[in-house]
């Protein structure tokens, strides 16, 4: 984040996610531990095998993951992957190393119509 004086402002991961949630209210934010992300990526990959992604399938998959892996349920110091989703627009996957840090080691963006390969995330 950039402060009003133009300097970079250090913030915690929790603050960054809360600010993002407030700035982009239609964005869904999911946080995962490494193992949980592996399971989610496998589910998404199988869902994306179809030429057309049925929005109801995507919504059901999101709801399934939200109860286990939402922003509020993953301990912030254990967050290893953040999934940012704006339905019908884009999905971004942010990998954090070490877990809980504010510096991503990898970021991947996907359009809503793009077939995704999460095996490398």
* 8 Å CB contact between 101 and 58: no
What is the C-alpha to C-alpha distance for residues 53 and 21, in angstroms, rounded to an integer?
25
CA 118 from chain center: how many Å? 12
pLDDT (tens, 9 = 90+) of the chain, 121 residues, equals 556 665 557 688 989 999 999 999 999 999 999 888 888 888 877 766 554 444 444 444 444 444 333 444 578 888 999 999 998 899 999 999 999 999 899 999 988 777 555 555 5
What is the C-alpha to C-alpha distance for residues 3 and 23, in angstroms, rounded to an integer?
16
Can you spell out the DSSP letters for 55-103? Answer: HHHHHHHHHHHHHHHBTTTS-GGG--EEEEEETTTEEEEEEESSTT-SS
Helix or strand (DSSP H, E) at 94: strand 90-96
What is the C-alpha to C-alpha distance for residues 19 and 14, in angstroms, rounded to an integer?
9
Q: Provide the whole-model pTM.
A: 0.70
Cβ neighbour number for residue 116 with a 10 Å cutoff? 17
């Amino acid at each position: 984040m950039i402060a009003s004086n133009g300097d970079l402002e250090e913030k915690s991961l929790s603050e960054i996610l809360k600010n993002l949630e407030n700035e982009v209210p239609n964005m869904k934010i999911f946080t995962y531990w490494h193992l949980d992300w592996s399971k989610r990526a496998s589910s998404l990959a199988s869902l994306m095998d179809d030429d057309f992604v049925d929005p109801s399938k995507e919504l059901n998959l999101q709801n399934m993951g939200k109860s286990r892996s939402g922003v509020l349920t993953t301990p912030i110091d254990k967050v290893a992957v953040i999934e940012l989703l704006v339905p019908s627009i884009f999905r971004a996957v942010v990998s954090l190393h070490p877990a809980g840090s504010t510096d991503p080691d990898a970021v991947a963006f996907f359009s809503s119509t793009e077939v995704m390969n999460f095996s490398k995330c």
